[in-house]
Amino acid sequence: MSEQTYYEKLITANDRGKKAAGENAVNYIEDGMTLGLGSGSTVYWALKKLSEQVKQGLNVKGIPSSKRTESWAKNLGIPLTTFHEIQELDLAIDGADEIDANLHLLKGGGGSLVREKIVNTASKRVIIIADQSKRVAQLGNRPLPVEVLPFGWEVTAKRISHLGAHITLRDKENQPFISDNGNYILDCQFPLITDPAELHNTLIQLVGVVETGLFVELADRVILGQDDELHYLE
Ligand code: 5RP
- Find the 45 Cα to ligand 1 centroid distance in Å: 12
The string of pLDDT tens digits covering residues 23-82 is: 999 999 999 999 999 999 999 999 999 999 999 999 999 999 999 999 999 999 999 999
Tell me the pLDDT of the chain averaged across its residues.
Answer: 96
Q: Is 158 annotated as a binding residue?
A: no
Going by C-alpha positions, the residue among 67, 53, 62 that lies closest to residue 35 is: 62
ipTM, two decimals: 0.98
Which candidate, 46, 188, 206, places its Cα nearest to that of 106?
188
Q: What is the pLDDT of residues 101-112, one digit of tens each?
A: 999 999 999 999
In this predicted structure, which of 10-14, 63-67, 81-85, 229-233 has the lowest mean pLDDT?
10-14
- State whether the beta carbon of 17 lies less than 6 angstroms from ligand 1: no
**pLDDT greater than 90 at residue 84:** yes
Cβ-contact 146, 204 below 8 angstroms: no
This prediction has a pTM of 0.95
Ligand 1 atom showing the smallest separation from residue 213 Cα:
13
Asked if 234 is an active-site residue, the reply is no
* Domain chopping of the chain, boundaries: 3-135+217-227, 144-208
> Does 5 score more than 70 pLDDT?
no
**Three-state SS at 99:** strand
Question: How confident is the model at residue 167, as a pLDDT?
Answer: 98
Say which residues have a Cβ less than 8 Å from residue 18's Cβ, sequence separation at least 6: 41, 42, 45, 129, 130, 131, 225
Q: For residue 135, what is the DSSP state? A: B
pLDDT of residue 186: 98
Integer angstrom CA distances of residue 209 from 73, 113, 122, 136: 30, 12, 21, 26
Nearest ligand 1 atom to the CA of 109 is 6
Q: How confident is the model at residue 12 (pLDDT cuts 50, 70, 90)?
A: confident
Q: What pLDDT, on a 0 to 100 scale, did the predictor assign at position 151?
A: 98
Q: Which of 39, 99, 132 to mutate to test the pocket of ligand 1 (most atoms within 8 A of CB)?
A: 39
104, 199 contact by CB (below 8 A): no
Q: Is the CB of 111 under 6 A from ligand 1?
A: yes
pLDDT digits (tens, 9 = 90+) for 169-227: 999 999 999 999 999 999 999 998 999 999 999 999 999 999 999 999 999 999 999 99
Tell me, what's the pLDDT at 2? 66
* pLDDT given for residue 10 in this prediction: 72
**Confidence class of residue 144 from pLDDT cuts 50, 70 and 90?**
very high
Question: What is the predicted pLDDT for the residue at 4?
Answer: 65
CATH of 3-135+217-227, one of 2.60.40.10, 3.40.50.300, 3.40.50.1360, 3.40.50.620: 3.40.50.1360
Which residue in the list 23, 70, 116, 147 is annotated as catalytic?
116
* Domain 144-208: top CATH class: alpha beta
Tell me the average pLDDT across 1-20: 78
Axis crossing angle, helix 41-55 with helix 67-76, rounded to the nearest 10: 30
Is 107 annotated to bind a ligand? Reply is yes
Nearest residue (CA) to ligand 1, atom 14:
108
Regarding the beta carbon of 15 and ligand 1, being less than 6 Å apart is answered no
